[in-house]
Structure 1
Amino acid sequence: MLVLTRKVTESLKIGEDIELTVLSVEGDQVKIGIKAPKSIEIHRKEIYIAIQEENSNAAVQGIGVLNHLKNFKKD
């Protein structure tokens, strides 16, 4: 992990398209601004993990449905 120190209003760049700016620091909270192309999804980590879990569950259920249909026999 790369660790950098920034002050309020200072930024860092990720590649050519993404810029993170420290907007404020209040107690143990840091407010960060993100400039990135609209094509890049940005989520809080806990939301990202929830999305991945939902996608995984949907895939498993989809396989179950496909297996059921595969075994379905017409009369």
Structure 2
Amino acid sequence: MLVLSRRVGERLVIGDDIVVTVIEVRSDGVRLGIDAPREVRVHRAEVLEAVRAANVEAVAADDRTVASLQRLAVPARTVSESAAADPSGTPPANR
């Protein structure tokens, strides 16, 4: 990790096209301005981590949830069941 000291108005250049400027220094934090191309995603780490945690929680399914979803699912008919239901063998779209 690179650690730098910067004063208000001073800049840090990352690569060819990302500029970080110190906007304000307060007792409780620092305000930074970030100038980057639109295709470069810039996120606050704590927000990104909260989104990731929420996504993991959203896809986690306990046994009760899985059982409830299985009761809602309609079983697919097999080819032999379809033929038994319509002895003519004509596909539904052609009847």
For residue 13 of structure 2, what is the amino acid of its counterpart?
Answer: K
State the percentage of identical aligned residues: 42
- Superposed CA RMSD in Å reads 2.5
The change in CA–CA distance for 1:24 and 1:38 in structure 2 (over 3 A counts) is: same
Unmatched tracts of structure 1, length 5 or more:
none
User: SS of 2:51's equivalent?
Assistant: helix
Distance in 2 (alpha carbons) for counterparts of 1:11 and 1:25: 14
Runs (4 or more) in structure 1 with deviation over 3 Å come to 54-61
Tell me what 1:49 maps to: 49
For residue 40 of structure 2, what is the amino acid of its counterpart?
Answer: I
Q: Taking structure 1 as the reference length, what is the TM-score of the superposition?
A: 0.70
Bigger relative CO (Cα 8 Å, ≥ 6 apart): 1
Residues 1-75 of structure 1: pairs in structure 2 closer than 5 A: 1-57=1-57, 73-75=75-77
Q: How many residues align?
A: 69
Bigger CA radius of gyration: 2
Q: Taking structure 2 as the reference length, what is the TM-score of the superposition?
A: 0.58
